[in-house]
Amino acid sequence: MKLFKVEAVFEEFDNLKGLPLDIQNLFKQADLVRKNAYAPYSKFLVGCSLLLDNGEVVSGSNQENASYPSGLCAERTAIYFAGATYPKANIVKMAIIAGSTKQITDTPIPPCGACRQTISEYEFKQEKPIEIYFKGEKGSVIYSKSLANLLPLSFNKNAL
């Protein structure tokens, strides 16, 4: 048997003010689109904005369905829209903001497992890391230099 260590390193910012302006703007757009989330069941609204290498910003919000598996998270909504609209563009940065309509969310909310796998696919496809920033409605912001940092030992086409 052989043991190996997998380590993830994140940066935490106290609030948006400590972030570069482009990231602050991504969060503003993510927060705006979050208000368009369709979340009548979970009451949990999520917004995601992507900065593409062509300078475009693409955003998405979560869209639920009474048949729960049929809904789509904000991250995947934004990623798939970017892939359909700008198929040659790479995703450079991603900002995610999430919160409940029941109470204030003051802890950073990372992408779910399905979204991590989707982000991983695009990071692998473009052969460049995607910087990921995530937060709740209030409080600190977590930064990951790549999806590989959030999802080590990921599944990709090399396994097929």
The residues, ordered by sequence, that sit 6+ positions from 101 with a Cβ below 8 Å of its Cβ are 39, 43, 44, 45
Q: Which two tokens stand for residue 13?
A: 């910012």
CA 29 – CA 23 distance, rounded (Å):
10
Q: What 3-state class would DSSP assign to 22?
A: helix
> How does DSSP assign 85-142, residue by residue?
H-TTPPEEEEEEEEEESSS---S-----HHHHHHHHHHHHHHTS--EEEEE-SSS-EE
Q: Catalytic residue at 123?
A: no
The one catalytic residue among 11, 12, 64, 75: 75
CA 118 – CA 90 distance, rounded (Å):
14
Q: Are the beta carbons of 132 and 94 closer than 8 angstroms?
A: yes
Q: Which residues carry out catalysis?
A: 75
